[in-house]
Amino acid sequence: MPKMNRRQWLAGTAAAGLVAAGAGCEGTQRKGNMAAHKNADFYTSDGTLDEDAAKQAYYDLMASFGYPRYESLKEQLWVLDFGLGRFTDVGMGGVFWLNEWDEEGKYGYLGHEIYLLPGQMIPEHWHAKHEAIQPKIEGWMCRYGQTILFGEGDASPEARKVIPASEWKQTTVHHMARVNPGEVGKLNRPLARHSQVAGPDGAIVTEYASYHSMDALKFTNPNIKL
């Protein structure tokens, strides 16, 4: 598989779905112990995202859960703030293990690890059809912490307390599904708008999905830039 450039790996910013299913893992889950961060901790004097500081925060998150830090992970880890300058509210880290499809568009698959700091949100978005590629369908397994999925359905009363205030007006689907370690959440249908917010200890989530196209990724917030 060819080495991905920044634009290609940003293609995997897809987040949570609507439906949560499955039972949690037996045994004790180690909780994260993350120090609180200020948004300013992640920006240089000219307002640029400090990628080294952001990556270190995710390494600290991994260490807090006892999550293995593979050499390949350190080489491939990427971070972004969606161009909003509010990394502690809206941002993510990730690694693309796989993202491939055949030229005829008959099949495609994605293996993606997602890292979220406490309360951090992947903003509302959806996946359109692009060329021969059908709209992406996806599901996520929470490995550590907790992820809170937002999708189609009746609005949950707690939604406003969970979604960062800075992103509330740009979020149109408010049905919540909390996904704990060992549980799986999935998108209820292709083209559905959805978002994801980490719980109080942060979250590490494995995404299983069909191929992800950058050109097919659409955001509700018009100010987002990748």
* 17 assigned to some structural domain: no
Whole-number pLDDT of residue 20: 53
Residue 84: give the domain boundaries. 47-219
Q: pTM value?
A: 0.86
* Secondary structure of 204-222 in HEC code, one letter for each residue: EEEEEECCCCHHHEEECCC
Write the CATH number for 67.
Answer: 2.60.120.10
Which one, of 192, 198, 188, 193, lies nearest residue 162 by Cα? 198
* 68 assigned to some structural domain: yes
What total of structural domains would you count in the chain? 1
Question: What is the pLDDT tens value at each position of the chain, 226 positions in all?
Answer: 334 444 444 444 333 345 555 544 443 455 666 678 999 999 999 999 999 999 999 999 999 999 999 898 989 999 999 999 999 999 999 999 998 887 776 678 899 999 999 999 999 999 998 777 789 899 999 999 999 999 999 999 999 999 999 999 999 999 999 999 999 999 999 999 999 999 999 999 999 998 888 889 999 999 999 9
* 203 assigned to some structural domain: yes
Enumerate the β-bridge partners of residue 151: 175
* 149 assigned to some structural domain: yes
* 197 assigned to some structural domain: yes
* 31 assigned to some structural domain: no
